[in-house]
Structure 1
Amino acid sequence: MKRLLIVDDEQIVREGLHAILLKNFPELEIEEAKNGKIALEKADSFMPDLVLMDIKMPGMNGLETIQKMKEKNQNSKFIMISAYAEFEYAQSAMKLGVNDYLLKPSKASEVVQTVSKVINKIKEERRSQQESIIQQYALQKALTIVETDVVTQLLFDHVHEVHLDELVELLGTPMTNEKFVISVLLPQNSENLYAEIKQRARKIGNTWVGALYGRQIPIIVFRQKADSFRHQAITLAREILSVSREREGWFIGIGNVCDSLEYIRQSYQESLIATKNTSLPVKYRFYSDIPLEDKRIDGYNPKKLENQFFDQIRNGQWQNIIKEVSELIGFFENKGVQVIEAQQRVLELLWIASRVLNEMGIAPETPLYSFQINDFRQLRSETNQLLNQMWQSHIEYHNQVEDDTIKQIRQYIIDHSHEEISLDSIAQKYELSPIYISKLFKEQLGVNYITFLTECRLEKAKKLMLNPDKSLKEITFEVGYQDPNYFSKVFRRTVGASPTEYRKSLLGAKV
């Protein structure tokens, strides 16, 4: 129900307008005021949508009253009523945002026509505001999906140059030149804490929170210039750890700072390596704080080898892995390294392999040597057995994914591309790791997941463009985008022309 306030010092005018409006707009709730002061008092509680305001009144005139009303309620609309037709009144009124102007005496038809026009404007604005609220909600929901997909692309090497810039722009996070990654390791069966962790991360600073992989959550953190790296990271780690009083099973690894998103993957891998020893009393650790070995071994670069291991495990290069680990054991033997030290160094690599398999959705047994290693022959034999067990876990997991699973996922994306879908949501539906789905998608279909999703959406957009009655804004929402500017940018970079240009050529060719 719309609320209308009539303000005029002449009672006969107020009663006449009231009768005309009530007859023609029975849905209106109407109040009256005989001067500006009473009008202001009524406006505070009545909150009128529309005010019919006389210009000339004793005390506070109509223009002054409007000015004070608008200070309290910017949404009210105003129609000026006066026996004076001087231009300066109308000019002053328009500056105040008055929507229309009536002269005394006005015919009933003129009053109805003028009020009807403004009421329709109020209805249209409210409809537009409601649509905007719905679209903003949908955009915020979509941004959460965009955020996890961007993190997945950056950290697991699925970056596509056509989309990354636009996705980063769409997220709107104030980016800084320096950034780093923290990896949050959760206790078992604590997936319900994900939303709270995400909220805590955003509370502390500019972050992108990735999806939950196994028991770990990767978070990209943008450096704050006003704070030191260590203080910012520790503050964030403590805030996340405060989600639960129980610290058992929790641990946070913190990677080094890098100055480009291209190298963010290395910071992520460092953050994972920093979680190797979760038994520390303080439940977070910087990669840079991992102590160097007391005894250096010439020709052995553990950090380089660890980073290489990440890629080989993700790509399933098990034969290379077994060969290189065997060569590493031989290297230690030739260098005269004690067996117990060589065993510890190899075990750290096996731990990395286990953690990477876990993030892919594979749950191998914890790599442990079954007995005390006495010589390098035993170390080589036991290590090969542990690596083969991991390889077998990888094979079994891969075999669970039937040949037609990716085809099913492909069809699902085609059918639901207009909806808010992401790697994470698809992974939950098919009970697979999002990283693993992305890997299989590229291997079996030869195209990146997000590229395929974009192609599906743009193909639908092209078909909808054949209908001249549909606006480009409508098409944007119908194909699954929540921001017309983002849709336009992706369309131009993928198709080579803006949506408007493409549509003109399309409709021109059809004609």
Structure 2
Amino acid sequence: MLIVDDEVLERKALTKFISSSDEEVEVIGEAPNGRKAIELAKNHSPDIIFMDIKMPGIDGVQAVKEIKKFSSSIRFIMVSAFNTFEYAKEVMRLGVKEYILKPSSRQDILDSLKRAAGEILEERRIEEEHRHLKENLTHAVSLVQKEWITSLLVNQVQDISFDEWGQLLGLEVAHGYIGVFAIQPLNGKNPSENEVQKWYMWLRDALKTAARNEEIMAGSLNDLKMPVLFLCKAQLKRSQIKTSAQNIHITLPGLFKAQFPNARLHIGIGSPYNEARELHLSYHEAVSAMENGSIASSQKAARANPLDAEKKLLESIQQGDTVQVMADLGVYVENLHNEEEGIGFKKSFEELFVLISRMLHDFGITSQTPPAFVESETPIKIIEKSKLYLLTAVQQVQTFRMNHAGGILYKAKEFIEKHFSESITLEQVAEYVELSPFYFSKLFKERFGMTFIDYVTDIRINKAKKEMTDPGKSMKEICFSVGYKDPNYFSRVFKKMTGHSPSEFRKSVLPANTASEVNLS
């Protein structure tokens, strides 16, 4: 609260009086005139101002008018010795409700203060409720959008059109396309939940800024991949859509790198479609574009050889990678539309199911019976049945790999222990045990409680410790023998792992007379 009165004794008395009351009000300043009151109100933004009306220079009424120009939320309690109706009318027109006369009783002042404070607290309570409701609504809308995106990726949305989406969003939608945004950590460690949340929030906000002419719906950031639906306004031309997609593809990775130096952003963007039921095709194109490192465009993904598409699809199922299977299925279907018609389309899927059944049998998995097709089955229906079958097959492979992870990871550990002195990478080991790098990394951390990089580092440092007991070997020799090419980097890693520099550690494990003879540089 700010107290404004040209009489210093009145100000001091009011300040002491209010400060000693039970009201939770703090007096933050005093002003002898209207000009000073305006200045203090600007600097301190009080909730309530006790304002004397009759003051030299700028009076209370004029001060209220000026303060109202830059702060409409301040409550005023007007105080005056003049029982004049004209003054009361003037301040009431300014929205002032409280008006008390000098000399005023203690109870009059406290009652007036309590009413003003009560209005402020009630206003804040309502604002907080509105804020909370808005947050809940935003969260609910976000969840619904994520469900839409998930349904789109497996082509399970058939009963909603762009017109209906447009009505929900309050805009006219003519086209839509899918973008896939994948984040790659560069430190070899699994990111924390906090890091993932920061990445997600940054990416979502950056897309809203970059996609000025589209409405975006961001999916969940699963496996560090986030699908995003772009809904294009009716007035946008295809050339404008293409330009917007290219701008996102070119600018966002650099901005992401500047914000998060230890991670990289990869982007793939599919073609725009004018039917919502075709958006799953845009998704498959986006995944393929990202993997091929191609620039985002509004052109369809390049066709693959039918046999290559089939082979890649089978490999994705074998890896247990659901996202990749859906992407590869899209490419496979696109090639079938080009190569096969009618009965040939159905026959191709039946032959694919035979290959999948054999592969699952080799894993020792008893698979469910593949779907049967009738002669009149449409391609869309065939694809829908096939997706359900493929998703079940992938889940069975994932379960199998999880149950047999011990043997696979033991094989990986043997490989690491044999090749740790080389420039070994996670991708090399994952390929050796026939797992995708991401799945291998996740499995390794879950089973051993440490990342692949931490495990390799642990082996190298332990080996270096043993080598240091041999006084005939120089520190550089030991550094190179355990897989490090830079002695300075080796020294930093060693100290981080052991708490001692290599030289300090070697001195501690070698006899004093021997250590002095060894070149520790």
Q: TM class by shorter-chain length?
A: 0.5 to 0.7
Look up the equivalent residue of 2:35 and give its one-letter code: K
Looking at structure 2, the residues matched to 266 and 87 of structure 1 have their Cα atoms a distance apart, in angstroms, of 73
Residues 97-496 of structure 1 mapped to structure 2, 5 A cutoff: 97-156=95-154, 158=156, 175-184=171-180, 186=182, 192=196, 194-205=200-211, 206-212=215-221, 216-223=225-232, 225=235, 228-242=240-254, 243=256, 250=266, 252-258=268-274, 263-273=275-285, 275-276=287-288, 280=292, 282-288=294-300, 290=302, 344-348=305-309, 351=312, 360=322, 386-389=355-358, 392=367, 394-395=392-393, 397=395
Q: Secondary structure at the match of 1:223?
A: strand
Q: Note the aligned Cα RMSD (angstroms).
A: 4.6
CA displacement at 1:74 relative to structure 2: 2.8
Residue by residue over 1:407-458, the C-alpha shift from the partner in whole angstroms, topping out at 9 and shown as x without a partner, is xxxxxxxxxxxxxxxxxxxxxxxx9xxxxxxxxxxxxxxxxxxxxxxxxxxx
* CA shift in 2, pair 1:40/1:115, >3 Å: same
What is residue 10 of structure 1 aligned with on the other side? Answer: 7
* CA shift in 2, pair 1:356/1:116, >3 Å: farther
Look up the equivalent residue of 2:245 and give its one-letter code: A
* CA shift in 2, pair 1:7/1:131, >3 Å: same
CA displacement at 1:278 relative to structure 2: 6.0
What is residue 55 of structure 1 aligned with on the other side? Answer: 53
Looking at structure 1, the residues matched to 11 and 177 of structure 2 have their Cα atoms a distance apart, in angstroms, of 68
- Which structure is richer in relative contact order (CA contacts within 8 A, separation 6 or more)? 1
Residue by residue over 1:202-237, the C-alpha shift from the partner in whole angstroms, topping out at 9 and shown as x without a partner, is 221231112245675332112254671211121122
Normalising by structure 1, what TM-score?
0.53
Q: Secondary structure at the match of 2:229?
A: strand
Q: Secondary structure at the match of 1:29?
A: coil
Percent identity between the two aligned chains = 23
CA displacement at 1:119 relative to structure 2: 1.6
Look up the equivalent residue of 1:267 and give its one-letter code: L
* CA shift in 2, pair 1:7/1:87, >3 Å: same
Looking at structure 2, the residues matched to 278 and 139 of structure 1 have their Cα atoms a distance apart, in angstroms, of 33
* CA shift in 2, pair 1:229/1:77, >3 Å: same
Whether contact under 8 Å (1:253, 1:273) holds in the other structure is yes
Q: Secondary structure at the match of 1:75?
A: coil
Residue by residue over 1:139-167, the C-alpha shift from the partner in whole angstroms, topping out at 9 and shown as x without a partner, is 444443232123234454555989x9999
Unaligned runs of 5+ in 1: 294-343, 368-378, 402-430, 432-511
CA displacement at 1:289 relative to structure 2: 6.2
Q: How many residues align?
A: 331
CA displacement at 1:81 relative to structure 2: 1.6
Equivalent of 2:39, from 31, 36, 41? 41
Whether contact under 8 Å (1:179, 1:220) holds in the other structure is no
Looking at structure 2, the residues matched to 222 and 155 of structure 1 have their Cα atoms a distance apart, in angstroms, of 15
CA displacement at 1:102 relative to structure 2: 1.0
CA displacement at 1:351 relative to structure 2: 4.5
Whether contact under 8 Å (2:34, 2:63) holds in the other structure is yes
Look up the equivalent residue of 1:97 and give its one-letter code: G
Equivalent of 2:88, from 87, 90, 96? 90
Looking at structure 2, the residues matched to 144 and 73 of structure 1 have their Cα atoms a distance apart, in angstroms, of 35
* CA shift in 2, pair 1:82/1:389, >3 Å: farther
Unaligned runs of 5+ in 2: 330-347, 361-366, 368-389, 400-441, 443-521
Look up the equivalent residue of 1:348 and give its one-letter code: A
Q: Secondary structure at the match of 1:178?
A: strand
User: Which entry has the higher C-alpha Rg, 1 or 2?
Assistant: 2
Looking at structure 2, the residues matched to 230 and 129 of structure 1 have their Cα atoms a distance apart, in angstroms, of 42
Whether contact under 8 Å (1:180, 1:268) holds in the other structure is no
* CA shift in 2, pair 1:231/1:204, >3 Å: same
Q: Secondary structure at the match of 1:220?
A: strand
Looking at structure 2, the residues matched to 199 and 389 of structure 1 have their Cα atoms a distance apart, in angstroms, of 46
Look up the equivalent residue of 1:197 and give its one-letter code: L
Residue by residue over 1:100-130, the C-alpha shift from the partner in whole angstroms, topping out at 9 and shown as x without a partner, is 1112332222222111111222222233334
